[in-house]
């Protein structure tokens, strides 16, 4: 049996009197690459923040690696889950290496902040993400793709087993979009990571994700392999547009094109 990384039972969430998520049930296995898709306001980013522990719900059971999320200390949870937000604003002249080193915070101990594996894991992350040559570059001088790689490298140095990313390619060009997805796919296959992403790029998600979870109005509408959930009636209904769905002859993945015959 494949170990379960994340299990959610009957999770609901809202702000004041506004309900955002309703009775969410999800089970995510170790080493899965999961894409959360759906229209704006569906509750995708909120759901990931609840899984990260950045938000708390009175009605939920979130189990991370077999333990209720409430039983983790903040540092303990950080050793398991790494989160990359949609936008990162760094107001200090930190270098790439310093950004990656921030991932070691959960492991600092004692008065002198000893971290026996720190140097090794930071170097591993820089090399693995092909950032060694940029280690002394100010983070704010990097391209969008390089900044995303640096943030992912920080999570890798963090030794988290679960990577959670909110729209990691929303501001990137085509080449860097593909690069980030290839990196995430490689993390699953070679580093045994579980990767959860929120994305509006259905075509990239269909190409790389093992499973898609579609949310709409705070509820899970469908979950399964891309070929099973990306169906004409469902996609047209939840997005409110006509679409053309076909198989990419180059790689066998599905692709979706919106169209208007008017």
Tens-digit pLDDT profile for residues 119-141: 999 999 999 999 999 999 999 99
Residues of the chain with CATH 3.40.50.300: 1-80+162-167+192-262
How high is the pLDDT of residue 2? 67
pLDDT at 7: 95
What token pair was written down for 91?
Answer: 């107001």
Averaged pLDDT, 191-220 = 96
What Rg value do the Cα atoms of the chain yield, rounded?
19
Q: Which residue has the higher pLDDT, 2 or 75?
A: 75
Q: What is the mean pLDDT of residues 4-17?
A: 88
Closest among 9, 27, 32, 46 to 163, alpha carbons compared: 32
pLDDT for position 60: 62
* Of 92, 104, 120, 114, the residue nearest 155 (C-alpha): 104
CATH no. for 1-80+162-167+192-262: 3.40.50.300
Pairwise CA distance, residues 31 & 194, whole Å: 4
Sole residue written with tokens 């040559």: 133
Residue 262, pLDDT > 80, answer no
Average pLDDT over residues 51-65: 85
Question: How many angstroms separate the CA atoms of 242 and 261, rounded?
Answer: 9
pLDDT for 16: 76
pLDDT at 1 over 60: no
Q: State how far the alpha carbon of 144 is from the alpha carbons of 7, 18, 80, 170, in Å.
A: 33, 34, 26, 10
Q: Give the Cα separation of 19 and 128 in Å (integer).
A: 41
pTM: 0.92
The confidence score (pLDDT) of residue 114 equals 80
Lowest mean pLDDT among 29-33, 84-88, 214-218: 84-88
For residue 247, the model assigns a pLDDT of 93
Question: pLDDT band at residue 59, thresholds of 50, 70 and 90?
Answer: low
Token digits of residue 238: 């939840």
Q: Is the pLDDT of residue 230 over 80?
A: yes
**pLDDT score at 102:** 93
Predicted pLDDT of residue 91:
79
Q: Which pLDDT band, with edges at 50, 70 and 90, does 87 fall under?
A: confident
- Mean model confidence pLDDT for the chain: 91
Whether residue 246 has pLDDT greater than 60? yes
Model pLDDT, residue 57:
81
Residue 158 has pLDDT above 70, yes or no: yes
């Amino acid at each position: 049996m494949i170990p379960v990384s994340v299990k959610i039972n009957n999770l609901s969430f809202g702000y004041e009197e506004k309900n955002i998520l309703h009775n969410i049930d999800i089970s995510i296995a170790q080493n899965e690459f999961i894409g959360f898709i759906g229209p704006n306001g569906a509750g995708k980013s909120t759901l990931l923040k609840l899984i990260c522990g950045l938000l708390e719900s009175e009605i939920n059971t979130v189990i991370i690696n077999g333990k209720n999320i409430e039983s983790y200390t903040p540092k303990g949870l950080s050793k398991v889950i790494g989160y990359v937000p949609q936008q990162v604003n760094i107001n200090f002249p930190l270098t790439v290496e310093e950004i990656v080193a921030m991932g070691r915070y959960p492991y600092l101990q004692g008065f002198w902040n000893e971290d026996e594996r720190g140097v090794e894991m930071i170097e591993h992350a820089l090399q693995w993400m092909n950032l060694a040559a940029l280690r002394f570059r100010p983070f704010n001088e990097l391209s969008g793709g390089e900044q995303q790689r640096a943030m992912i490298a920080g999570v890798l140095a963090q030794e988290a087993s679960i990577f959670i990313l909110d729209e990691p390619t929303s501001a990137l060009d085509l080449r860097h979009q593909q690069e980030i997805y290839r990196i995430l796919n490689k993390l699953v296959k070679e580093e045994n990571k579980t990767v959860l992403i929120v994305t509006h790029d259905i075509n990239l998600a269909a190409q790389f994700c093992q499973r898609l979870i579609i949310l709409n109005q705070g509820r899970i509408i469908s979950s399964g392999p891309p070929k099973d959930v990306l169906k004409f009636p469902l996609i047209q209904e939840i997005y409110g547009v006509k679409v053309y769905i076909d198989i990419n002859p180059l790689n066998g993945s599905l692709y979706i094109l919106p169209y208007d015959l008017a």
